[in-house]
Structure 1
């Protein structure tokens, strides 16, 4: 059993070292994602959304992001939707894992829903094409917050030489 454990740990370290050697293009990136959320209370049954994210890499570890799209909250009496517009700061921890903080606004598209401030801490994984993350999203003026998962396809806008 110890041999299996030590082999697994060694594999993780070797795999992490291999991933950390991956070339990361600096400059602009663009990503398109699908989101699914789980509200933290009983006001809504769930959420689904799509988004587009522009990212500019200052360094290999730091980036700023601009994200917008559409999110739909499901509820039995009445469903609502909004367009989020968020600015974020992404910091790569190494081995393609990152922490990000986002802040912005949610613009209600239904007549009965107000606009709201959005604050969201994010933990994720990104490589050359895939971006997968989990975030806690706080809405200042809605009756719920949510834990959301995002899976996205991203690519560099930098031309290869």
Structure 2
């Protein structure tokens, strides 16, 4: 079932790529007077690795600023919120509710447009665990990294745009004793930019 969800995400991304190719205006020129682009987005994902044994999916949102530093190259600053929904597990003949993981990731990175409207992006930073007391973790902050590919295309003459990307996001361990305390998922971000 999770493979089907990932396949659906990839197909959606491919459809957005085709739609973006049909646009005639380059998204790399879509900036404010100061050159900075802002976007607010919705994020969703599917846990991967050992993390998907107890978690179903995640939903969240983020704010991002893209700051131009060179032709087709931007520095990104991103902050958001992610809630990863826990499953109900059968353990020793009883049901156990796995608590949700609530995170605030704060990341910075680079976004590069090798061709018009298509970008590759890499970000890293810190992910703050808001509900540490629900787990047996000895850390409330972990290193987070997120490589992403996406498309960005204009939706109005005033410079507004849609930014849609697919990424893998992973953290280091929140507990030195448990490898399963890493948070990993494949997700999408669909954002409105201005």
Query: How does the TM-score come out when normalised to structure 2?
Result: 0.67
Instruction: Specify which of 119, 131, 138 is matched with residue 170 of structure 2.
Output: 138
Instruction: Specify which of 141, 144, 161 is matched with residue 115 of structure 1.
Output: 141
Deviation at 1:127, TM superposition (A): 1.9
1:16-57 Cα distance to aligned partner (Å, 9 max, x none): 693449844471111000000100032311100010001111
More helix by share: 2
State the alpha-carbon separation in 1 of the partners of residues 61 and 31 from structure 2. 25
Instruction: Specify which of 51, 54, 64 is matched with residue 43 of structure 1.
Output: 54
State the alpha-carbon separation in 2 of the partners of residues 22 and 137 from structure 1. 24
1:10-159 equivalent positions in 2, closer than 5 A: 18-20=24-26, 23-25=29-31, 27-40=35-48, 41-76=52-87, 77-112=98-133, 114-128=140-154, 129-141=161-173, 142-155=181-194
State the alpha-carbon separation in 2 of the partners of residues 28 and 106 from structure 1. 24
Alignment CA distance shift 1:139-1:23 (3 Å): closer
Contact between 2:68 and 2:74, CA under 8 Å: does it hold in 1? yes
Displaced runs of 4+ in structure 1, greater than 2 A? Answer: 15-26, 111-114
State the alpha-carbon separation in 1 of the partners of residues 40 and 74 from structure 2. 17
Count of residues in Structure 1 that have an aligned counterpart in Structure 2: 142
Moved more, 110-119 or 67-76: 110-119
Alignment CA distance shift 1:22-1:122 (3 Å): closer
Mark the runs of 5 or more structure 1 residues left unpaired by the alignment: 1-11, 156-161
Mark the runs of 5 or more structure 2 residues left unpaired by the alignment: 1-17, 88-97, 155-160, 174-180
